[in-house]
Amino acid sequence: MSEKEKYEEMTITKDGKMMLEKARTDGVETVWDRYRSQLPQCGYCELGLSCRNCVMGPCRIDPFGEGPQKGVCGADADIIVARNLGRMIAAGAASHSDHGRDLVEVLRNVAEGKAPGYEIRDEEKLRRVASEYGINPERKSSLEVAKELAYAMEEDYGTRKKALTLVSRAPEKRRQLWNKLGITPRGIDRETSEMMHRTHMGVDNNWANLLLHALRNALSDGWGGSMIATEVSDILFGTPKPVQSTVNLGVLKEDEVNIIVHGHNPVVSEMIYQAVNDEDLVKLAVEKGARGINLVGLCCTGNELLMRRGIPMAGNHLMTELVIVTGAVEMMLVDYQCIMPSLGHIAACYHTKMISTSDKAKYPEMVHREFHPDNARELAKELVREAVENFMNRNPDKVYIPVDPINLMSGFSVEAIVEALGGSLDPLIDVVKEGKIRGIAGIVGCNNPKIKHDHGHVTLTKALIENDILVVDTGCAAIANGKAGLKVLEATNKAGSGLKEVCEVLKIPPVLHVGSCVDNVRILVAVAALANELGVDMSDLPVAGAAPEWYSEKAVSIGAYMVGSGIYTVLGPAPPVLGSAKVVDLLTGGLEDLVGATFAVEPDPEKAADLIIRHVEKKRKSLGLPFREVS
Ligand code: SF4
Ligand code: MSK
């Protein structure tokens, strides 16, 4: 197979293919090279049948029934698979929730006057969320309310409670179900801590009981840590409104200082955003021979800036190495999550300065410059100055920006969607009832070198909008769909006639960008509001989720809180559970009776679309809405 044919197998994106070729000529190793060098990957681990939870092991179970069927402690395949899945969910929930905690900390520092540069940008939301926490905002300054809210949110993390505060947003029926099953999330940290406790050797050795707690742990993320992260980000940085921007490697500028922010938490990137607009620094850039300073995003930190500020987006997970290979990046600043440890090494082949910013996330071959609420504004300026000064070190012979950028529309928070609908969800409910929109699908999650880059997201999305299913997307899926030109008004031409008509009236694309990974909770909030409006449970609605190219533990937690909330979810890559028939049966079938939704695994995005269309029509039928028979 020629190199070009190999690139065709690796990615559907033009910029990706062109940069893979440049990486080869520059002698840069990428995630795809390292993936190939790992093959064949461990079959026991793929099936979830290996355990290293203690040093009587590590142990493995023979899937063919010829070798050992129990670990040294006596754990069988079901226990080992359930424990491993539980720990994946704990790690994912911890990541989102710890991100949320960092935002609450900034909120508290703002309230105490210790975070220069940060402020309350959405006072209405501050007061609304405070009321949900039982805080009376009347006759209090916004800083007083912010302080009380920060303390109340901190209590959601650690204090022993019966239920997290924002669980009250879920429909009554759903909350009763969680109570009946004993999976109402209590403390955010508590559920993760309990998951780790239960999976220690000699604690919870009932695979089904373990999985129920895993659901509760995931719900503590969705209705707790992630929901807090999104709400506090909106309070501090503004609730997103529709905004135009651009996407792909073409957002880099040959004649400007290019600065990239990568990771997940907007706390650092918002300060960099302020600094790149500093007049003195822009003047300095001009003095150094650049036309200006160009800030662009990657992954979910990029999504946060794109949603709120319209900052252009360079790419998603599998593009994070290739963006450096353009040779046009003066500085990349990273916070945490999804930042490959390879990045510093690749940057060393170019002039790119790599800066890590969080006390909890250091990386090889990066310079560590730690951000805290009190030093963020000044440090951001210092770093932007260093990036500007690095412009003169750029080697023009190594620079290659391969494509022109694609336009996209972003910024569809729930509030913005309601506003586009004229102030209430009723018009959306009406068009769903009429069947112009058959249902709604959330397409979320990452890229994974096991799957052709962006193929899963884009193929599934196109198939769904063609069938009048409105798509809302987040994370790397949203970036893929943006690059594919599905987030512009003209994309309504790719939608079925009903969805096209609705989008044209509302002047929205058929694929709505609702944010970053933590912002999947915007989908929960919207679905809960629709269910409340109709007086049904979330599982009764013609709604589904999909993660066609997921890779991360966070994605497992997201999938589990979606299913736990009653939303049928189709995964592309299978999670490592196939070593236990009982666990597979529960996840893909038995959960229907418990929480009214299941997982499905379907790597082929066309077939995944069929599953979602069938599910949507089934739900329409049970709601007594006009439905189509699907074979
Ligand atoms: Fe082996 Fe049991 Fe220890 Fe796991 S917990 S490593 S199965 S002995
Ligand atoms: S960045 S978790 S690769 S979506 Fe949120 Fe993308 Fe997945 Fe990271």
Residue 356 tokens read as: 């890590």
**pLDDT value, residue 500:** 98
Considering the segment(s) 243-398 as one domain, its CATH architecture is: 3-Layer(aba) Sandwich (3.40)
Query: In Å, how far are 312, 443, 455, 560, 588 from 614, measured between CA atoms?
Result: 36, 16, 22, 21, 15
- The single residue listed with the structure tokens 């373990």 is 210
- Give residues with Cβ within 8 angstroms of 514, minimum separation 6: 412, 413, 414, 442, 472, 473, 474, 478, 520, 522, 523
Confidence of residue 242 (pLDDT cuts 50, 70, 90): very high
Q: Which fold has domain 413-622?
A: Rossmann fold (3.40.50)
Query: Of 16, 87, 92, which Cα lies nearest the Cα of 517?
Result: 92
Q: How far is the CA of 564 from the centre of ligand 1 (A)?
A: 28
**Taking the C-alpha atoms of 499, 500, 506 and 509 in order, what is their torsion angle to the nearest 10 degrees?**
90
The partner residues of 11 in beta bridges, in order of sequence, read 453
Ligand showing the shortest atom-to-Cα distance for residue 559 = 2
Percent of the chain surpassing pLDDT 90: 99
**pLDDT value, residue 127:** 98
**pLDDT value, residue 152:** 97
**Taking the C-alpha atoms of 461, 462, 464 and 466 in order, what is their torsion angle to the nearest 10 degrees?**
160
Residue 559 confidence (pLDDT) above 80: yes
**pLDDT value, residue 149:** 98
CB atoms within 10 A of CB 255: 11
Beta strands across the sheet bearing 469-474: 511-515, 469-474, 439-443, 543-547, 568-571, 599-601
Q: What is the 3-state secondary structure (H, E, C) of 305-355?
A: HHHHHCCCEEECHHHCCHHHHCCCCCEEEECCCCCCCCHHHHHCCCCCEEE
The partner residues of 407 in beta bridges, in order of sequence, read 246
Q: What are the backbone angles phi and psi of residue 446, rounded to the nearest 5°?
A: -95, -165
Query: In Å, how far are 146, 186, 222, 339, 504 from 165, measured between CA atoms?
Result: 16, 9, 12, 32, 38
User: How high does pLDDT run on average in the chain?
Assistant: 97
Handedness of CA 249, 251, 257, 263 (dihedral sign): negative
- Give residues with Cβ within 8 angstroms of 430, minimum separation 6: none
**pLDDT value, residue 477:** 98
Confidence of residue 159 (pLDDT cuts 50, 70, 90): confident
Q: How far is the CA of 35 from the centre of ligand 1 (A)?
A: 28
Question: In the structure, how many helices (H) and strands (E) does the chain have?
Answer: 27, 16
- The single residue listed with the structure tokens 């000044």 is 378
Q: pLDDT of 111-155, one tens digit each? A: 999 999 999 999 999 999 999 999 999 999 999 999 999 999 999
Q: How far is the CA of 142 from the centre of ligand 2 (A)?
A: 33
Instruction: For ligand 1, atom 3, name the residue with the nearest CA.
Output: 54
Q: How many Å is the Cα radius of gyration of the chain?
A: 24
**pLDDT value, residue 462:** 98
Helices (H), 411-495: 414-420, 426-434, 455-466, 475-483
The two beta strands, 439-443 and 406-410, are: unpaired
Gap between the Cα atoms of 79 and 85, Å rounded? 10
**pLDDT value, residue 1:** 87
Residue 503 confidence (pLDDT) above 90: yes
Q: Do domains 77-237 and 413-622 have the same CATH topology?
A: no
Q: pLDDT of 566-599, one tens digit each? A: 999 999 999 999 999 999 999 999 999 999 999 9
Helix axes 77-111, 142-158, angle to 10 degrees: 160
Residue 303 confidence (pLDDT) above 80: yes
Residue 160 confidence (pLDDT) above 90: no
Find the farthest-apart pair of alpha carbons in the chain and give their distance in angstroms, rounded. 72
Confirm if 246 and 405 have CB atoms less than 8 A apart.
Answer: yes
**pLDDT value, residue 450:** 97
Ligand showing the shortest atom-to-Cα distance for residue 205 = 1
The domain locations on the chain are 3-60, 77-237, 243-398, 413-622
Confidence of residue 244 (pLDDT cuts 50, 70, 90): very high
Q: pLDDT of 256-293, one tens digit each? A: 999 999 999 999 999 999 999 999 999 999 999 999 99
Probe ligand 1: pick from 59, 83, 207, 580, max atoms within 8 Å of CB? 59
Probe ligand 2: pick from 230, 264, 317, max atoms within 8 Å of CB? 317
- The single residue listed with the structure tokens 């593009």 is 319
Residue 630 confidence (pLDDT) above 90: no
Query: In Å, how far are 43, 165, 362, 441, 442 from 461, measured between CA atoms?
Result: 31, 34, 36, 9, 9
Q: What residues does ligand 1 touch, defined as CB less than 6 Å away?
A: 51-54, 56-59, 71-73, 75, 80, 201
**pLDDT value, residue 270:** 95
Residue 619 confidence (pLDDT) above 90: yes
Q: pLDDT of 375-405, one tens digit each? A: 999 999 999 999 999 999 999 999 999 999 9
**pLDDT value, residue 631:** 76
- Give residues with Cβ within 8 angstroms of 603, minimum separation 6: 451, 456, 572, 573, 574
Confirm if 301 and 269 have CB atoms less than 8 A apart.
Answer: yes
Gap between the Cα atoms of 106 and 605, Å rounded? 40
Task: Mention the CATH class of domain 77-237.
Answer: mainly alpha
Query: In Å, how far are 255, 325, 404 from 400, measured between CA atoms?
Result: 12, 8, 12
**pLDDT value, residue 161:** 87
Q: What residues does ligand 2 touch, defined as CB less than 6 Å away?
A: 264, 299-300, 316-317, 338, 445-446, 475-476, 516-517, 552, 554-555
608: enclosing H helix or E strand? helix 605-622
Residues in the chain: 631
Instruction: For ligand 2, atom 8, name the residue with the nearest CA.
Output: 338
- Give residues with Cβ within 8 angstroms of 246, minimum separation 6: 312, 313, 405, 406, 407, 408
**pLDDT value, residue 335:** 98
The partner residues of 296 in beta bridges, in order of sequence, read 260
Instruction: For ligand 2, atom 3, name the residue with the nearest CA.
Output: 446
Probe ligand 2: pick from 88, 300, 447, max atoms within 8 Å of CB? 300
The mean pLDDT of 95-111, rounded to a whole number, is: 98
Q: pLDDT of 516-547, one tens digit each? A: 999 999 999 999 999 999 999 999 999 999 99
Confirm if 597 and 567 have CB atoms less than 8 A apart.
Answer: yes
Instruction: For ligand 2, atom 7, name the residue with the nearest CA.
Output: 446
Query: In Å, how far are 101, 165, 187 from 162, measured between CA atoms?
Result: 20, 9, 8
Q: At 320, which amino acid appears?
A: T
